[in-house]
């Protein structure tokens, strides 16, 4: 017994190191493998997100002009869409102010108070949480295109898993041909302004500059939100697929505003998806 105590005394520093290391590694692996993150130990908790919010309020004044321009361009685009809406002739019925049609998607404007873009697993923080009706597994779009998916919500803030995170995965569409592809960001090969689109069949006619859009299949985003344009196209002969490098429309180093997408019929859709 005495020898055991002496042994522990002799190696107490090493044992203490092992103990703390074990806690740290437990945090690391349980936090990345578990969907239910530790709410209070992620960057969307009130203290850290509050500090980020303070920093955002200090620095956002310097980019007000830029934000304003972005919003004006988006406004102009939306006006174009609203006033030049084509009437589709030849469909069976036209809907017009009909109360039987419900709005499918609701948008809530938010500020992106912190945007990581140079790390391995990047994260965004927005200044809206459960109090504003933001829920887990809802989408976030920016003024130009897709941003990411809400992963963690506290009462006033939420953290987002952006496209530029290796854990992000989404089925997307090639706009011209309507072919399905998978969006993948590989941290070792992609920088923060491009991603890979894989698993599009080799016979699809994809040219440089073609748009890629969301499919709307998972109910996270409406169909047709722009992701980016094809930058370079390679062929994978063994798999008979194309590997397309896509330049993202959104510049993750300078996002300030975004819109949380709420799907009114998500629960109903989920019943069919699972």
Partner 1 sequence: MIFELKNIIWFFGLIFIQIFFVDALDFGTYSSFFSPVIITFFILKQRLNTTVFQLLIAAFFLGIITDVFRNTLGLNTSILLIITFLKPTFLYAISSKEDIEKDVDLNLFNIGVFRFLLFFGISIFTYHLLFFLLEQFSFNNFLTLLFRALINTLSALIFLIFLQYIFIYKK
Q: Which of 130, 132, 177, 193 binds partner 1 (CB under 8 A)?
A: 193
Is 125 in contact with 150 (CB distance < 8 Å)? no
Q: Which of 9, 13, 99, 271 binds partner 1 (CB under 8 A)?
A: 13
Q: How far is the CB of 133 from partner 1 (least distance, A)?
A: 23
Q: Which of 11, 38, 107, 265 binds partner 1 (CB under 8 A)?
A: 38
Region of 73-81, 120-128, 176-184, 234-242 interacting with partner 1 (CB under 8 A): 120-128
Nearest residue (CB) to partner 1, 67 versus 269: 67
Alpha-carbon span 71 to 73, nearest angstrom: 5
Alpha-carbon span 37 to 240, nearest angstrom: 38
Nearest residue (CB) to partner 1, 117 versus 211: 117
Cα separation values, 228 from 73, 157, 170, 197, Å: 17, 27, 14, 10
Residue 106 engages partner 1 in binding (rule: CB under 8 A): no
Q: Which of 6, 8, 23, 73 binds partner 1 (CB under 8 A)?
A: 23
Site string for partner 1, 39-78 (x = CB under 8 A): --xxx-x--x--xx--x-----------------------
Alpha-carbon span 228 to 243, nearest angstrom: 15
Is 156 in contact with 127 (CB distance < 8 Å)? yes
Residue 119 engages partner 1 in binding (rule: CB under 8 A): yes
Looking only at the bridges linking them, the beta strands covering 158-162 and 146-153 are antiparallel
Residue 24 engages partner 1 in binding (rule: CB under 8 A): yes
Q: How far is the CB of 49 from partner 1 (least distance, A)?
A: 9
Residue 211 engages partner 1 in binding (rule: CB under 8 A): no
Q: Which of 6, 8, 10, 26 binds partner 1 (CB under 8 A)?
A: 26
Residue pointed to by tokens 């995170």: 165
Alpha-carbon span 199 to 187, nearest angstrom: 19
Residue 221's CB is within 10 A of a number of other CB atoms, namely 25
As given in the structure block, the two tokens for residue 69 are: 């321009």
C-alpha dihedral, 256 to 161 to 227 to 178, nearest 10°: -150
Q: Which of 10, 57, 79, 118 binds partner 1 (CB under 8 A)?
A: 118
Is 236 in contact with 250 (CB distance < 8 Å)? no
Alpha-carbon span 163 to 183, nearest angstrom: 8
Residue 263 engages partner 1 in binding (rule: CB under 8 A): no
| Contact set for partner 1, span 156-175 (CB under 8 A) | 159
Is 196 in contact with 244 (CB distance < 8 Å)? yes
Is 144 in contact with 213 (CB distance < 8 Å)? no
Nearest residue (CB) to partner 1, 147 versus 225: 147
Nearest residue (CB) to partner 1, 59 versus 75: 59
Applying CB under 8 A, which residues contact partner 1? 12-14, 16-17, 20-21, 23-29, 31, 37-38, 41-43, 45, 48, 51-52, 55, 116-121, 123, 159, 187-189, 191-193, 253
């Amino acid at each position: 017994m005495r020898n055991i105590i002496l042994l522990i005394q002799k190696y107490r520093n090493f044992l203490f190191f092992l103990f703390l290391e074990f806690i740290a590694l437990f945090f690391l692996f349980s936090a990345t493998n578990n969907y239910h993150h530790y709410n209070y130990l992620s960057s969307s908790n009130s203290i850290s997100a509050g500090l980020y919010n303070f920093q955002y309020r200090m620095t956002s004044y310097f980019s007000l002009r830029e934000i304003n321009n972005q919003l004006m361009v988006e406004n102009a685009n939306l006006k174009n869409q609203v006033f030049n809406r084509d009437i589709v002739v030849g469909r069976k019925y036209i809907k017009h102010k009909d109360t039987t049609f419900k709005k499918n998607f609701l948008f809530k404007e938010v500020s992106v108070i912190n945007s990581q873009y140079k790390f391995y697993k990047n994260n965004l923080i927005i200044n809206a949480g459960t109090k504003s009706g933001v829920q887990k597994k809802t989408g976030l779009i920016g003024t130009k295109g897709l941003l990411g998916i809400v992963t963690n919500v506290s009462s006033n803030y939420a953290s987002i898993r952006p496209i530029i995170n290796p854990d992000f995965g989404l089925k997307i569409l090639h706009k011209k041909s309507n072919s399905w592809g998978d969006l993948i960001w590989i941290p070792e090969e992609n920088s923060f302004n491009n991603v890979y689109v894989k698993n599009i069949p080799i016979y699809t006619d994809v040219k440089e500059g073609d748009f890629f859009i969301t499919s709307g299949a998972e109910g996270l985003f409406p169909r047709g939100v722009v992701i980016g344009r094809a930058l370079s196209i390679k062929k994978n002969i063994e798999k008979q697929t194309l590997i397309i490098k896509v330049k993202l429309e959104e510049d993750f180093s300078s996002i300030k505003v975004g819109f949380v997408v709420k799907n009114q019929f998500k629960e109903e859709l989920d019943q069919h998806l699972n």
